[in-house]
Amino acid sequence: MLRSVSKVKLCGAIFDAPGKQKELSKTEAEINDPNFWNQPEKSQRVMQQRKRLEEAIQSSNAVASVASDIDTLFELGREGENVLPDLERELKAFAAKLEELETEMLLSGENDARNAIVTIHPGAGGTESQDWAEMLLRMYLRWAERHKYETIVTDRLEGEGAGIKSATFEVNGENVYGQLQSEIGVHRLVRISPFDANARRHTSFASVFVYPQIDDDINIEIKPDDLKIDVFRASGAGGQHVNRTESAVRFTHLPTGIVVQCQNERSQHKNRASAMKQLRAKLFEFEMEKKRAAEKKLEDTKESSAFGSQIRNYVLAPYRMAKDLRSKLSIGDVDRVLDGDIDALIHAYLVWRKTGKVAGEDSKDDLAD
């Protein structure tokens, strides 16, 4: 009960209807410009932005109306009326929708609406960590499947014996990058190893990077002289053509040391295009990170979101639980999480990023009230 009440109280801080209305007014002014339709691709993005803003404002107004009704029930309860059955019914139906709307409203960053490029690397530990990296890859592909997002695995390097040495894939859909930012960092698995004949408990680590896919209208200058280009035969399954021709491509950006590669297509030309897309995304994120560091705007969150920091534990033995170390959200059904049901973890991270509150803090505040 108290947890649901805290969601209602939180909605006022997250659903910024006046701010969205101001954004919508600016967007409408841009659409009314006589030269607006001269750039079709840009015009399409602006129209999509207007639709998102209109839907966000409508959702905000609907939430505010229902929250007012619930507040009325609380007032009647304080006056001695028996409103508990009605209140429980209203809150139960409202909480699920509210969480969904909160997630949408929290995705308001500059690049949150973009598609994403995800890279997974196992940590030290050989087969154990490589198997864990493959488990994470499956988790994210299952999550994307649940939401009907398009996925394209552009590079996958098989491990020796089991698992993967690395994997890179695209996820295409609305607000994908904003959601998957919650996954940036080191993921820790504790389990009874299936590769240990003595059935001992092992700890494995894998790192996840997420980059926004960049549109062509964002100028990322890549000089030909700054690129080292290698072509090679693709490894692993893929048919005789893939394995016998040098269709795989690797780009090394010499000034930054950033390396990308793609080998999933039979055509070297297509692999080059995909690798260039990855390189543009990584260079964009590289420049944005330098800018953020210079302006010192993200000092409070950098430690938790930077590569090399542990963000989440997945424990399969001696107990079973998935716990995010930033939002403090714990989920007992870790198998469901590993099967791609990570929406609650994503939502808790977004709330934590926006408000600085961790799971359970709102309930404590309500008890204090």
What's the whole-number mean pLDDT along residues 322-339? 96
Which residue ranges make up each domain of the chain?
2-106, 116-212+308-355, 224-295
Region 116-212+308-355: CATH code? 3.30.70.1660
CATH of 224-295 among 1.20.120.80, 3.30.160.20, 2.160.10.10, 3.40.50.300: 3.30.160.20
**For position 187, what pLDDT does the model report?**
96
2-106 belongs to CATH 3.40.710.10: no
Residue 125 burial class via C-beta count within 10 angstroms: exposed 0-12, middle 13-18, buried 19 and up: middle
3 state DSSP class of 50: helix
Please give the single-letter amino acid code of residue 202.
H
Confidence at residue 305, expressed as pLDDT on a 0 to 100 scale? 36
Please check the confidence at residue 218 and state whether its pLDDT lies above 80: no
pLDDT at 138: 98
Strand-pair category, 164-172 with 150-158? antiparallel
pLDDT above 70 (res 306): no
Per-residue confidence (pLDDT) for residue 185, from 0 to 100: 93
Please state, rounded to an integer, the average pLDDT across all residues of the chain: 82
Measured in degrees and rounded to the nearest 5, phi and psi for residue 12 equal: -65, -30
Q: Quick one: pLDDT at residue 210? A: 94
Q: How far apart are CA 274 and CA 282, in angstroms?
A: 13
Q: Quote the CA–CA distance of 196 and 131 in Å, as a whole number.
A: 13
Confidence of residue 346 (pLDDT cuts 50, 70, 90): very high
**Distant-in-sequence, close-in-space partners of 82: CB < 8 Å, separation ≥ 6:** none
Give the CA count within 13 Å in the CB-facing half-sphere of 15: 24
Rg, Å, the chain Cα set: 23
**DSSP secondary structure letter of residue 80:** T
Residue 91: pLDDT band by 50, 70, 90 thresholds? confident
Q: By the 8 A CB rule, do 119 and 208 touch?
A: yes
Q: How many CB atoms lie within 10 A of CB 167?
A: 23
User: Do residues 171 and 86 lie in contact, with contact meaning Cβ atoms separated by under 8 Å?
Assistant: no
C-alpha torsion sign, points 188, 190, 195, 200 = positive
Beta-carbon count within 10 A of 213 CB: 19
pTM of the model: 0.68
